[in-house]
Amino acid sequence: MLNQKYSPILVVKNHFPQKHLNFVGFWLLSCCLMVGFMILLGGATRLTESGLSIVDWNLFTGLLPPTNQNDWDALFSAYRTSPEFLKINFWMSVDDFKSIYWLEYLHRLWGRLIGLVFLLPFLYFLIRRKIGINLSWKLSGIFLLICLQGLLGWYMVKSGLIEEPYVSQYRLAAHLGLAFIIFGFLFWYSLKCLDHKRHRFKERWLHVSAFAIVSCIFITIIWGAFVAGLDAGLAYNTFPFMDGHIVPKDLLNLSPWWINFFENTAAVQFTHRLTAVGTVTFTILFFLFSLRTSIDAATSRSIKLLVILAVGQMALGVGTLLFEVAMPLALLHQFGALALFTSSIWVLYHLRY
């Protein structure tokens, strides 16, 4: 046990009504897990090219799945007018259509379920005054983000229903980014509710460094979405070289120069590689410097886990490249991103200032 006089930890009194915090915390953690599953489900929907199978968005009537042949015929008839069917899947029959419909339907249904699982208990806790005013406002903000995410999801899908059968990489990145933001907030506030000790570190540089790592991971995830949206993972399938070069020759083919990092497959993949290597390097350095600091055992373990996940995620990314975005590896890579992001928030929470 560290001497309190020299301890870098400060104990802060918990101002939330303690007897209700566990219920609120487990509820938020449940919502967090649901959002995490939604992120993975979204990845599977994209990889199986199922995301454009439902060409309209009905918040309430869209809850019911097709139950007879007439329902299937109506859905397939609507899909036959889409650019994806006209330009790519023109060979499909109704039975073929069913194979891409169900995953997108489940994706949308799960999103609605998240909204209900969040809203109904929130209203109960609010009416029964089991949560404080400050937390109520923060949770209201999270609910608005969940609603916005639903609208953003349809806005993304709509971009692939107009002329070209591909969703905008900008909208895909925004959709995935907002999902991770919602996940992060839910995880953070579940920790605040479930943690009764409320320790805070006195050494601010640790907190700032941990926040920087969270930011680096988030930026890398965003560029991963750009890679997915442009199919840039298929552009160069070697590592560390790209067509024999560390920096690809066609890095700045587009004009103006900055648009390359959003629309040029070579530049987008290079940026994702660069941010990934930078994040892993930063995480390892952070771990090495933390060894020289008096931190408790739990925090030390969380940092070690972060390093292991960072290195493992980079290895998965390289494997995904080398095997030309094979679906099992690609899904595992997306799960790795979620695990790494979760671990970084866990470390940030341990080191809060």
Enumerate the domain spans of the chain. 12-198, 202-353
140-173 in b/e burial notation, b at 16+ Cβ within 10 A? eebeebbeebbebbebbbbbbbeeebbbbbebbb
Helix (H, G, I), strand (E, B) or coil at 201: strand
Note the residue count of the chain.
353
Contacts of residue 182, Cβ cutoff 8 Å, sequence gap at least 6 = 35, 142, 145, 146, 149
Inter-CA distances, 151 with 118, 155, 178, 268, Å: 17, 6, 11, 26
Give residue 197's pLDDT: 67
Inter-CA distances, 105 with 225, 229, 270, Å: 22, 21, 34
Full-model pTM: 0.93
Give residue 12's pLDDT: 45
271-284 in b/e burial notation, b at 16+ Cβ within 10 A? bbbebbeebbebbe
Give residue 18's pLDDT: 61
Alpha carbons 154 and 183: distance in angstroms, whole number: 19
Residues of the chain with pLDDT below 50 are: 1-7, 10-14
Give residue 294's pLDDT: 83
Contact 219, 180 (CB under 8 A): no
Count of alpha carbons within 13 angstroms of residue 231, beta-carbon side = 8
Alpha carbons 228 and 43: distance in angstroms, whole number: 9
Quote the radius of gyration of the chain (alpha carbons, Å).
Answer: 23
Alpha carbons 17 and 295: distance in angstroms, whole number: 29
